[in-house]
Amino acid sequence: MFLGTKSYSVGADGICFAFQQQSTSIGSLGGGLGYGGIKPSIAVEFDTYQNGWDPGFCHTAIEQNGDVDHTTGNTLAGPVQLDPANPSLPDGNWHNMEIIWDPITKTLKVYYDCGLRLSYTGDIINNIFSGNPNVYWGFTAGTGGAENLQEVCLTHSYLNNLRDTLVCNGNPVTLTSSGGATYSWAPAAGLNTNTGALVVATPTVTTTYTVSITNSCGLVSKDSATIRVSNTVLTPSSTTATCGNPNGTASVTAAGGITPYTYSWTGGQTTTTATALAQGSYTVTSKDSLGCQATAVEVVPGTPALFDSIPPFIPSVACPLVWPLHSMFISFEIESCSAGGWAIIATAVTLQLLASVIDTV
């Protein structure tokens, strides 16, 4: 952070780093540092001008609800001298500032040139933002009649934090961090290296990687990302094609990928079960919603037809039953087979009365 070249109370007015829920709302000018009146909110001020409520040195403080007046009860921590050795900042130099919020301990800390200057512990989400954890954040400033050049350069923020990623099994993901002097990544499984700002991860299962970022002051912050791996596994099954007919089926169950799935079978069917299949091998390709692909082959077994063709002497078998004065003929044909075995089905019954009379002596 660069606070300018004009010393305390010569140049105005200072910078605030604020969390607030009013989007781009603008606070008051001058001593309000562009933050005054914005609520609900919490801010860290770097004040370079002495107003009636300010101490006689360049200072920092943690404040809430757009109130920069240190006498009203809305100052949560401070004010304290920003530079312990120099009450007259700005000095025309860039200085390292670090603001760390720990949601586990509910602690907000402010560091200046590697030294801890402020710490506040409190339930900010519930006490200030009424349970809503979503906020806008950024820097604001203001002045009245004086001026000073004040600048901010971000080396690391949640704007460039790691992001959760979905990948197909075997595809690499580049993870990049920033703002540190050294980096340590864990777990090491699936990483090409576990040090450095940039690593390449190729996990075979869903994995959460955490990087410990140590800055030039020795302060450690952490970031993490979960790489969800699509690893689709296909489990096929089938039913038998009987009697040489195309009445078999092949089915597949997909798991381990990102639903929903699509399917494509040999022959063009696109459902989980392919029907009306003859005996043989069938290939199915499945894709999940990420486009990750898996392939399986299923064999549809079969039983043979009873006859490849019916010989000429089979279609009609006459069975004469001789009765007195006449006779009955019954015709049988081989029609088809029933499930689980063969059957001969009578398809026609022909009654023929013989017109002959047997004389007796």
Residue 97 CA from chain centroid, whole number: 33
Beta carbons of 109 and 68 less than 8 angstroms apart: no
Question: For residues 157 and 11, what is the distance between their CA atoms, to the nearest angstrom?
Answer: 28
Identify the residue whose tokens are 């090491």. 188
Residue 89 reports pLDDT greater than 60: yes
**Lowest mean pLDDT segment, chosen from 108-122, 211-225, 305-319, 337-351:** 337-351
Please give the CATH architecture assigned to the domain spanning 158-230: Sandwich (2.60)
Contacts with 114 (C-beta within 8 Å, 6 or more apart), sequence order = 96, 216, 217, 218, 219
- Can you tell me whether residue 3 is helix, strand or coil? coil
Confidence of residue 304 (pLDDT cuts 50, 70, 90): confident
Q: What is the pLDDT of residues 90-110, one digit of tens each?
A: 999 999 998 988 888 999 999
Q: What single-letter DSSP state applies at residue 5?
A: S
Tell me the residue type at 221.
Answer: S
Q: pTM to 2 decimals?
A: 0.63
- For 167-184, how does the pLDDT look when each residue is reduced to its tens digit (9 = 90+)? 999 999 999 998 889 999
**What confidence category does residue 25 fall into, taking pLDDT thresholds of 50, 70 and 90?**
low
Distance CA(22)–CA(126), nearest Å, equals: 17
pLDDT of residue 220: 86
Q: Which residues contact 5 (CB under 8 A, 6 or more apart)?
A: 11, 90, 92, 148, 149
Q: What is the CATH number of domain 14-141?
A: 2.60.120.200
Helix, strand, coil tally for the chain in percent (to 5): 5, 45, 55
Q: Which residues belong to CATH 2.60.120.200 in the chain?
A: 14-141
Percent of the chain with pLDDT over 90: 64
**CATH number belonging to domain 233-300:** 2.60.40
Please tell me which residue, 46 or 27, carries the higher pLDDT value.
46
* CATH 2.60.40.10 residue spans of the chain: 158-230
Integer Cα distance of 285 and 264 in angstroms: 5
CB 100 within 8 A of CB 221: yes
